[in-house]
Structure 1
Amino acid sequence: MIVVTRLNRTRFAVNPDLIERIQATPDTTLIMVDGATFVITETMDEVIDQIVDLRARVLAAAHRWTAPGSGTTTIDATPHSGEDV
């Protein structure tokens, strides 16, 4: 979840997987896949940065995760032959 701020200064968390698009006209508007819209104070670039940071944190946590009792990570983050880095 990312935290954004409505124009009335109330904050709320939104699932970025459910954002269909972000518009800046001039206020930033989140349009959700269900058609809901939210006008927020953050800029489009700030929202995108939050989403990128969230996804990076999720990937980092998954990389650090170990299966209980195994002592080894369950995700191999090493690039394999023929894969892009």
Structure 2
Amino acid sequence: MIQLTRLNGDPFNLNAIMIEQIQSLPDTTITLTNGKKLIVKDAEIEVVHKITAYYQEIGIQKAINKAGETGE
């Protein structure tokens, strides 16, 4: 899970694996795999860094990198 901040300042945790897309429109808009959209205060690059750190923490980053190397 990653911690983000809603536009009203309330923090919340989001399962980063559910994220499909992130855009700055200019607010950071996160689209989940179920189609739901969330708008957060966090900058797009901050969200990407949090996702990457989370993936490394749970060990999925190595699997993603390895799959990319083998073309799977």
Same fold judged by TM-score > 0.5? yes
2:3 corresponding residue in structure 1: 3
What amino acid is aligned across from residue 28 of structure 1 in structure 2?
T
2:23 corresponding residue in structure 1: 23
What amino acid is aligned across from residue 27 of structure 1 in structure 2?
D
After the TM superposition, which segments of 4 or more aligned residues of structure 1 sit over 4 Å from their partners? none
Higher helix share: 2
Q: 1:37 and 1:51 mapped to 2: Cα distance? A: 17
Q: Which has the higher contact order (CA 8 A, sep 6+)?
A: 2
Report SS of the residue matched to 1:13: strand
1:35 corresponding residue in structure 2: 35
Cα deviation for residue 24 of structure 1 reads 0.3
Identity in percent: 33
Cα deviation for residue 58 of structure 1 reads 1.8
Report SS of the residue matched to 1:38: strand
CA RMSD, aligned part only? 1.2
Q: 1:14 and 1:6 mapped to 2: Cα distance? A: 11
- The yes-or-no answer on 1:51 pairing with 2:51 is yes
Q: Which has the larger radius of gyration?
A: 1
Q: Which runs of 5+ in 1 are unaligned?
A: 60-82
